Amino acid sequence: MPAPDLLGAPLRILLLSPQPWTGLQVSKHHYARELAALGHDVMFANPPTGDGAIRLTPSDTANITLLDHPRMPLARAKYRAKPLFIAAARFRARAIRKLAGAIDLLWDFDNARQFADHRPFGASASILHVVDRLDPGDDMHRHANLILGIDASIVGDIAPEGRPSHVVGHGLSPLFAEAARARLATPRIRAAEEKVRIGFIGNLAQPAMDRARVAALVAAHPDCIFRFIGPVQGETSEIRAWVDGLTAQPNVEMAGLLTGDALIAETADVDIWLLPYDLARDRNRGVNSHKLLEYFALGGEVVSSAIAAQAGAPGIFMAAPGAPDELAAKLDAAIAVVREGRDTGWRARAELALGNSYRANLDRIAAHLKDSRT
């Protein structure tokens, strides 16, 4: 049977997501929207929650239907009695198939492995797409026809020899792609007397955030403005104390969660973007980060902890692997560049980001899917 053609006639696609449709928009949401924009009929399966029946409801986007289903049977036995959980999940997959009807393509982003076997869905083809490292010991390929991951080490954890697998990096959402094109067309003119503004976008409760280092950087640069854009989701008392401490600093701005045009507007005067991760606490161990593509798209300098996928990006100020203390010196160097008005290649970084849009990634995945069945 030939592989479903992502760039051809409309397909009926079931997308399994570990994050719900509402809330922070991440890779699963962006792929769903791109597929819908191409005319495909996308069923976005929210993670299992609560009780009740399996149901389909319209979303806020054309060609996307939401699929909700209750908590998985034997969920607490997922690791202690794996065969029982897998067997129960097969029954759930068949029930979803019965309600959803024929499925041309199953696209599984679920790093929580609710479904260890794709076959009961009866899809013509399936993709296992790993954008976050799986739990330790979870090396099941789920009988997918194609395995994709954001890094070769992640793909290697789950793809047995001979099974089609490829590295596909993070994508750039249409919102940031539009911002990149706008800034390439009309570059910012910065007044020399302006204070240097340093920005961060993302969840401030992100487990990998190097909170002690961030606090030290803020304290060391009272003449710079630090702007944090994003929510505090999953906070603990320790994280709340850290956020409150930052908020109390006179050189800190807390913009909160922003989306769409409001988010892009808040980035217009930022000179330097900061990615301060403690890689020992990073689930993906510093192999890749979607945030860097967004930073590249927005222009300005980029100061980052060691992220392997973008280590060669033009003009990036990146600490070496295993040397997190270098981040302070990298930030000092970026501040000097801004104040002196030097260009480290922001245009090249913006073009790099545009070359990795979700649509560009879809084109790559379509080719891989076709090759997987030839």
Question: What pLDDT, in 10s, does the model give residues 213-261?
Answer: 999 999 999 999 999 999 998 888 999 999 999 999 999 999 999 989 9
Work out the average pLDDT over 290-312: 94
Q: What's the confidence (pLDDT) of residue 138? A: 64
Is the pLDDT reported for residue 287 higher than 80? no
The alpha carbon dihedral of 332, 316, 348, 273 has a sign of negative
Provide, for the chain, the percentages of residues in helix, strand and coil under a 3-state DSSP scheme, each rounded to the nearest 5.
Answer: 35, 15, 45
Tell if the pTM clears 0.85, that is, is over it.
Answer: yes
β-pairing verdict for 272-275 and 252-256: unpaired
Cβ neighbour number for residue 166 with a 10 Å cutoff: 18
End-to-end CA distance of the chain: 9
Question: What pLDDT, in 10s, does the model give residues 303-325?
Answer: 999 998 899 999 999 999 999 99
CA distance 227 to 220: 15
Q: What's the confidence (pLDDT) of residue 207? A: 87
Contact predicate 338/272, CB 8 Å: yes
Is the pLDDT reported for residue 126 higher than 90? yes
Q: Which of 21-25, 105-109, 308-312, 343-347 comes out lowest in average pLDDT?
A: 21-25
Q: What's the confidence (pLDDT) of residue 29? A: 96
Question: What pLDDT, in 10s, does the model give residues 170-215?
Answer: 999 999 999 999 999 999 999 989 999 999 999 999 888 999 999 9
Q: What is the dihedral of CA 232, 236, 237, 238, to 10 degrees?
A: -90
CA distance 73 to 61: 31
Residue with the larger pLDDT of the pair 273 and 2: 273
* Single-letter residue type at 243: V
Beta bridge partners of 137: none
Q: Which of 163-167, 210-214, 343-347 comes out lowest in average pLDDT?
A: 163-167
The distance of Cα 111 from the centroid of its chain, to the nearest Å, equals 13
Helix H segments across the chain? 27-37, 82-100, 152-158, 174-185, 211-220, 237-247, 260-266, 290-298, 326-340, 346-354, 358-372
Is the pLDDT reported for residue 137 higher than 70? no
